[in-house]
């Protein structure tokens, strides 16, 4: 951060600290998730190793993992939203600080002008221009002086009015800075709360997975693939692909090109690239590469972007998943999408109908 920006922020802090800030209540954290019991006691004797857990137990674990990672995704959206707002408020505070500095310099300049006028009056014997004009015996000087008096009165009145307005502006800037500072602190707390939730859910999921044997993990992966394939098949069986024929726009194709080029890179919550991404970080950066700025989070992408029917979906459109809009992917065509799935899984291509679709939005509307 440069010296100028630090100075502006320091000015904002000085102004804001002069205003009494309201105390913000501490956020309540979600209750800890019960830790699952191990599926078996450890043993070193191969002959005593029990058989893999039955599919019904692994199916319950699959659903539990889906719930944990879904909760983490919801919290990630909350974290990203709070971070975006905090960045916005920081910039507004810096802008207000600059206005405060400029206003103070302007006010000081007007005070100097008022002081110069007072000193000039002192040098003329303490008599105002009007009194000196009355005492003049020269008609020409009298007429010239009358004009100067009128101009001087107008200038003085204008100076006083300008000083008053500038002072009022400074007071408003201080109030605005104080309000933005309180919002900034609230969003910082919201970020911290969301981060704890994310970390807690991911840790619980990773612990649950770590308690499985190698064979169980392999079978669990099969069950997860089967569940996704079943959902995709049901979606395709509706005949939806017969209706989806629209080709992508030039910007949509560029966004798809960017997104697919990231395949294989890791998922990381809160990340926007270039080395890792979360789901909305991938879609927002892909469209930024295509020259279109879109909201950072999947929920805001769903709320702000233009919605289109699934049958009108084209490459580059964003598919929003789950009732709470907690996941987003990019449609690439032929019933497929590219997305950043969840922690532990890289950016990949999957069936567009492999998860419950809430709707579709188009960034280049």
pLDDT digits (tens, 9 = 90+) for 290-328: 999 999 999 999 999 999 999 999 999 999 999 999 999
Q: Which residues, other chains included, contact 6 with Cβ-Cβ below 8 Å and sequence gap of 6+? A: none
Say how far apart CA 357 and CA 307 lie, in whole Å: 13
> For residue 78, what pLDDT is reported?
83
Lowest pLDDT segment from 62-71, 117-126, 164-173: 117-126
* Average confidence (pLDDT) over 5-22: 38
339 is catalytic: yes
Lowest pLDDT segment from 104-113, 166-175, 232-241: 104-113
Lowest pLDDT segment from 22-36, 56-70, 317-331: 22-36
* Average confidence (pLDDT) over 72-78: 85
> For residue 47, what pLDDT is reported?
41
DSSP designation for 266: B
Q: Where are the alpha helices (DSSP H) in the chain?
A: 3-17, 55-123, 129-134, 139-210, 214-236, 240-243, 250-261, 279-289, 298-304
> For residue 274, what pLDDT is reported?
94
Q: 135-145 pLDDT, tens per residue?
A: 455 555 544 55
pLDDT-based confidence at 166, cuts 50/70/90?
confident
Q: pTM of the prediction?
A: 0.61
The label of the residue with tokens 């539990």 reads 64
* Average confidence (pLDDT) over 206-234: 89
Say yes or no to pLDDT of 153 above 80.
no
Decide which of 230 and 162 is more confident: 230
The label of the residue with tokens 């007007």 reads 110
Distance between start and end Cα atoms, the chain: 37
Residue 130: C-alpha distances to residues 48, 134, 140, 151 (Å): 113, 6, 15, 12
> For residue 355, what pLDDT is reported?
93
Q: Choose from 14-23, 34-43, 55-64, 266-275 the range with maximum mean pLDDT.
A: 266-275
Q: What percentage of the chain reaches a pLDDT higher than 70?
A: 70
Say yes or no to pLDDT of 276 above 60.
yes
17 is catalytic: no
Among residues 8, 186, 202, 279, which one is catalytic?
279
CA torsion through residues 348, 351, 355, 356, sign = positive
> For residue 20, what pLDDT is reported?
34
Lowest pLDDT segment from 161-170, 218-227, 281-290: 161-170
* Average confidence (pLDDT) over 68-79: 85
Strand partners, 319: 329, 360
327 is catalytic: yes
Size of the chain, expressed as the number of residues it contains: 365
The label of the residue with tokens 């005492």 reads 135
Assign 267 to helix, strand or coil: strand
Both tokens of residue 212? 């499985």
* Average confidence (pLDDT) over 263-274: 94
145-172 per-residue burial string, b: 16 or more CB within 10 A, e: under 16:
beeeeeeeeeeeeeeeeebeebeebbee
Say yes or no to pLDDT of 11 above 60.
no
Say yes or no to pLDDT of 94 above 60.
yes
> For residue 52, what pLDDT is reported?
52
* Average confidence (pLDDT) over 220-231: 90
What is the residue-averaged pLDDT of the chain? Answer: 76
Among residues 62, 191, 314, 327, which one is catalytic?
327
Give phi and psi for 349, each to the nearest 5: -105, 145
> For residue 158, what pLDDT is reported?
62
> For residue 13, what pLDDT is reported?
39
Decide which of 87 and 357 is more confident: 357
Say how far apart CA 264 and CA 202 lie, in whole Å: 20
Say how far apart CA 331 and CA 326 lie, in whole Å: 17
> For residue 246, what pLDDT is reported?
78
Residue 174: how many other CB atoms lie within 10 Å: 19
């Amino acid at each position: 951060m440069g010296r100028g920006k630090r100075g502006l922020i320091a000015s904002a802090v000085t102004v804001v600290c002069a205003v009494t800030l309201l105390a913000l209540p501490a956020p309540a954290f979600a209750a800890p998730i019960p830790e699952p019991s191990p599926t078996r006691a450890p043993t070193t004797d191969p002959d005593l190793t029990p058989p893999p857990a039955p599919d019904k137990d692994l199916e319950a674990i699959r659903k539990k993992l889906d719930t944990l990672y879904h909760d983490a995704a919801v919290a990630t959206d909350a974290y990203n939203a709070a971070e975006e707002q905090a960045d916005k408020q920081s910039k507004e505070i810096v802008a207000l600080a600059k206005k405060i500095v400029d206003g103070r310099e302007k006010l000081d300049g007007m005070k100097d002008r008022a002081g110069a006028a007072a000193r000039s009056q002192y040098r003329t014997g303490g008599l105002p221009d009007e009194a000196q004009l009355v005492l003049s015996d020269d008609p020409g000087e009298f007429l010239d002086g009358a004009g100067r008096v009128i101009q001087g009165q107008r200038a003085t009145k204008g100076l006083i009015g300008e000083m008053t307005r500038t002072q009022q502006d400074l007071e408003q800037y201080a109030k605005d800075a104080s309000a933005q500072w309180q919002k900034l602190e609230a969003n910082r707390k919201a970020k911290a709360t969301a981060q704890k939730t994310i970390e807690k859910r991911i840790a619980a999921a990773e612990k649950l997975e770590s308690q499985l044997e190698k064979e169980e993990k392999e079978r669990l992966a099969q069950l997860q693939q089967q569940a996704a394939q079943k959902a995709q098949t049901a979606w395709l069986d509706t005949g939806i692909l017969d209706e989806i024929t629209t080709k992508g726009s030039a910007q949509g194709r560029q966004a798809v090109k960017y997104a697919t080029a990231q395949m294989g890179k890791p998922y990381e919550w809160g990340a926007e690239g270039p080395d890792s991404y979360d789901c909305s970080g991938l879609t927002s950066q892909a469209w930024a590469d295509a020259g279109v700025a879109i909201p950072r989070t999947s929920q805001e992408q769903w709320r702000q972007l233009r919605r289109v029917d699934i049958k009108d979906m084209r490459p580059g459109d964003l598919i929003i998943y789950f009732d709470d809009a907690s996941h987003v992917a990019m449609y690439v065509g032929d019933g497929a999408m590219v997305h950043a799935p969840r922690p532990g899984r890289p950016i990949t291509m999957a069936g567009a109908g492999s998860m419950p679709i809430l709707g579709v939005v188009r960034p280049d509307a």
